[in-house]
Amino acid sequence: MEITTEMIKELRGATGAGILDCRKALTEANGDFEKAVDWLREKGMATAAKRADREASNGAVELYSHGGGRVGVMVEVNCETDFVARSEDFRTFAHEVALQIAASSPRYIAADEIPQAELDHEAEIARARAVEEGKPEKMFDRIVEGRLEKYKDEVCLLRQPYIRDESLTIEKLLHEQIGKIGENIVVRRFQRWELGESVGE
């Protein structure tokens, strides 16, 4: 059965799960809406969405130093209760997020933080590359869109493949933790420093 954009939108609205997860759920359920919701709930993704609007004001600031002090990371990860903030699962997750930031140098947490001017600039570069590579003009929009998505995957923490398991993104890892712990978890902010880089890089 063909999975349409409308079906994905409807499932996403009901569960708050990501677009790719909704597509996979509908494919697994052969287009059956209720089965797709159950599939997402079993994977802990729908429950994560329902908890996403709960206030997360506790948590931890995780500090990580890598390469004998060549790279330093500070990340704030929030949860709902002090009890969870002190738990080993939560602390481990915060540490894994810090490791990810050290290894993969994201610039933003999510794609909606990227300034429009930066996206426009990347789109110009992608279009110029398409011209340089002699691609057909009617393909330009699709090529630019694809390269922008790839750019977002590189610079946004939540969209990056998890360094320990590339079949997972950090967003999926976050949703798994929310399902496991039973509280909303938010990566609030981070800073990454590298020895020798100039301020403002």
How far is 119 from 92, CA to CA, in rounded Å? 33
* Per-residue confidence band for 18, with pLDDT thresholds at 50, 70 and 90: confident
DSSP E strands in the chain: the ranges are 58-66, 71-79, 161-162, 165-169, 186-194
Locate the domains of the chain by residue range.
5-51, 58-109+156-194, 115-153
Q: Superfamily assignment of 5-51 in CATH? A: Ubiquitin-associated (UBA) domain (1.10.8.10)
* Per-residue confidence band for 14, with pLDDT thresholds at 50, 70 and 90: confident
Q: Over the stretch 47-62, which tens digit does the pLDDT of each residue have?
A: 666 666 666 778 999 9
Q: Over the stretch 117-153, which tens digit does the pLDDT of each residue have?
A: 999 999 999 889 888 888 888 888 888 899 999 999 9
For the full predicted model, state whether its pTM sits above 0.85: no
Architecture of domain 115-153: Orthogonal Bundle (1.10)
State CA 200 to chain mean position distance: 24
Nearest-CA neighbor of 107 among 189, 186, 174? 189
The pLDDT of residue 200 is 52
With residue 27 as reference, give the H or E element that holds it: helix 19-28
Coil/strand/helix, residue 115: coil
